[in-house]
Amino acid sequence: MKEIELFYLSHCPYCRNAMNAIDELTRENSAYSTIGIKWIEESEEPLIANSYDYYNVPTVFYEGKKLYEAKPSHSYDVIKENLKKAFDEVLG
């Protein structure tokens, strides 16, 4: 199974948007549900988080490559669109 790493903070509204977008995307396309997600709460796992190059959350990595890093201006639709692109890249 292919697996992404998703860095988030539990109190982050953009991360909540990402979680909702992932739920919506997997309902829209069952192929996305075949991608495993390793959820990494950066404040609970700082050693792991600090070993990756990113600043904002949510951020998605696959095989060490950053596929998406949210920006504070990203709306729900922008987050969903970028997560879809990341999932499509993982599925190849």
Strands 65-69 and 3-8 come out as: unpaired
Q: Specify the number of domains making up the chain.
A: 1
What tens digit of pLDDT does each residue of 24-61 get?
Answer: 999 999 999 999 999 999 999 999 999 999 999 999 99
Task: State which residues form the domain around 35.
Answer: 3-91
What is the value of pTM for the model shown? 0.95
CATH of the domain at 7: 3.40.30.10
The CA-atom distances, in angstroms, between 76 and each of 51, 63, 79 are 27, 25, 5
